Amino acid sequence: MTDVKALEECGKTAVDALEFSRTIVKEGASLLEVTEKIEQFIKDRGFELSFPVNLSINEKAAHYTPGLDDKSVFQKNDIVKVDVGARSGDVLSDCAITIDLSGTNGKIVNAAEKALDEAISLVRAGRKVCEIGSVIEKAVASAGFKPIKNLGGHGIEEEELHAGVFIPNFDNNDDTELEEGSVISIEPFITNGYGYVDETDDVQIYQLVSTAAPRSQEARSILELVAGKYKTYPFAARWIGRELNHLSDFKVRRGITELLSIGTIEPFPVLIERNKGIVAQAEKQLIVEKDSCRIVTKT
């Protein structure tokens, strides 16, 4: 049974963190500092993180979070996807906005938000996921953009951020029906580029997936920290560096590489638009009801 109260508390905190991000994502601000301030905002409210705060800029669509060595600052034309989640125990929230620092990309940002609103207006028990995708695709096309076809919304269960149903951003002919009481997120990613994302070699986020034991001392220390503190929730290499500050960056990287090689952890590579188009995202989490839905991450 979904703990609606706990879910709404997580959702409210995540939404407030997004609003907070609007006040600090500015030209010249450090990505690393901004990310850690948003994460601290959630922790100061007494919550854990569903996953590391993602700040994915321009053609980067998702899964970027700064490393400890990240010296970059926001540029005046950046279009920034801020994707956050607050967690309480095993109850997870997940939502995202896009911030346009240029002042000239309002059209794509609004199109993503409008597609999301139209999709949400369709939600009810029994609705086919391809119908949701179709409405997103049409709304996005009418604004002159393309949906990103290999990203989409998802079911969210306790302990599992991506569970069950996949909610496409286009009509993929999937007749799967939404179930009453299920928790989902809908997240149109849209672009002026090709409409697909590809994985890059840049990885900052990982997740524990097995208990295979590593050999080296540094990998054992990392595994012990992750298993105890982050469990099976995604974590950032940056968090490891902060927590195990007796280990050099080199040893942290080497330990992570060892854990990847034996399959103890899996990577979430940074995803980039195939034609390097700019990407906007809007995401809300909701509970499917008989005739409509209840938005968990209300703005």
283 catalytic? Reply is yes
**Shortest gap between Cβ of 71 and Mn ion (angstroms)?**
26
Should residue 50 be labelled a site residue for Mn ion when binding is judged by CB under 5 A? no
- Which listed residue (187, 218, 258, 273) is catalytic? 187
**Shortest gap between Cβ of 153 and Mn ion (angstroms)?**
6
x-or-dash pattern for Mn ion, window 168-207, by CB under 5 A?
-----------------x----------------------
**Shortest gap between Cβ of 187 and Mn ion (angstroms)?**
5
Residue 80 exposed, middle or buried by CB count within 10 Å (0-12, 13-18, 19+): buried
Site for Mn ion in 234-273 (CB under 5 A): none
- Which listed residue (162, 198, 199, 224) is catalytic? 162
246 catalytic? Reply is no
Q: Residue 44: which residues within 8 A CB-CB, separation 6 or more?
A: none
**Shortest gap between Cβ of 89 and Mn ion (angstroms)?**
19
* DSSP E strand boundaries for 101-180: 146-147, 153-155, 166-167
For residues 39 and 283, which CB has a smaller minimum distance to Mn ion in the complex? 283
| Residue selected from 9, 83, 100, 218 as contacting Mn ion according to rule CB under 5 A | 83
SS3 69: coil
**Shortest gap between Cβ of 220 and Mn ion (angstroms)?**
31
* DSSP E strand boundaries for 89-196: 91-92, 95-100, 146-147, 153-155, 166-167, 183-186, 189-191
- Which listed residue (8, 59, 83, 137) is catalytic? 83
User: What does the alpha-carbon distance between residue 268 and residue 139 come to, in Å, rounded to a whole number?
Assistant: 29
* CA–centroid distance for 214 within its chain: 29
Should residue 94 be labelled a site residue for Mn ion when binding is judged by CB under 5 A? yes
Strand order of the sheet with strand 153-155? 166-167, 153-155, 183-186, 284-288, 293-295
Of 117, 179, 110, 167, residue with least CA distance to 144: 110
Q: Looking at the annotation, which residues are catalytic?
A: 83, 94, 154, 162, 187, 283
Residues lying near Mn ion in the complex (CB under 5 A) are found at 83, 94, 96, 185, 283
